[in-house]
A and B are shown apart, each in its own frame.
Chain A
Amino acid sequence: MTVTRRKILALGAGTLAFANLTSLPAFASVVEDQIAAVTGGAAVQDGGITLTAPEIAENGNTVPVEVLAEGAVAITILATGNPSPEVATFRFGALNPTRRASTRIRLAKTQDVIAIAEMADGTFRKAQSVVKVTIGGCGG
């Protein structure tokens, strides 16, 4: 069985919700605005999109992230805690065999990384993951 990140997020939902609060105090509406800027305010569903990012960044200056969303015409990556949250938008033509985008992004601090896929039918899908940026040291 392949465990998708979506399932993990579902399993860890309680914990992650708490973690979100810790990293993004009182900025929930800011994030909603960031998402609305991508979707034009349309409803966003979870599922059908997989975001792979490390739990803890090995180097906050270059964090590998990968997004897979079959059927997407565009994928946007948001770093919600960065001064400029919109990292990149990948557009796919009809001849693209898979709808997968991967890149390395810079994260200023611990934050939610959000991936939004625009599907061929005009609907939107979202996945998110907390990436922790830490000082390091003290390793057991």
Chain B
Amino acid sequence: MSSAARRRRHARTQTARYAGIAVLLMFFLFPIYWLFAISFKTADEIFASPPVWVPGSLQLGNYFVLFKDGDAFTVWNSLVTAGLSTVLATMIGGVCAYSLARYRTGGNALASWVLSQRMVPPIVVVFPIFLLYVAFGWIDSYGGLILLYAAFNLPYVIWVMRGYIQDIPVELEEAALVDGCTRLQVLWKVVLPLARGGLFATAVFAFVFAWNDFLFALVLTRTEVTTFPVQVTHYFGGQSNFWAKIAAMSVLGTLPVFVIVVALQRFLVRGISMGAVKG
């Protein structure tokens, strides 16, 4: 094949690939576009047939209603519970991972057990936890939900951070010990700075998991700490749905996650696969 022919063929392949990518983008992004579009539509535009493809203006009325009625508070609840549970899970999960990685505490058996906890279906756990929380008076409390989200995220945090710490050369820690640091100081002054990148990425994904949860929040909250996914399902009626509210609330709950995806592109693979697969 001459080089000119090869170049022509290459150009044709690239064009075909762009066409394929365009179809994919259409399928995967149009639903998201539609959600955003509805959130900006007026009632007349939402209930129009044929559908209005582009909202007439970026009017924020649907959002104002959510803030005026206090529904937007559920996003704050999501922020508090997902945020604090992430802090808790990364802190105690991080030191646990360090212990598993460096001291082989509990050997492979403990590490496997931690991993297996991630595989247990939430529906199995949620009913006993519900009864436990009723007995303790923890239903509809920030503390109860935060504790559960933290526990739920621990296997993920521990598993990913264990792998991350294993990749950090041990010589630095040994040198610090020779220089007279205590083991706690080594953990704080040597390991923590080195593991910061991994810890940060892990925390972000733990946050997203907690942020997106529905089942635990549905069961363990009533009115005070309702999170946004539960609130979205409140807008479904038997006969009619509150379309504008569904869309606006969904967008409020989705935007933070999108910001995270764009900001953390390079961590995506490692985070999303629960560290199962080296990216």
A binds B: no
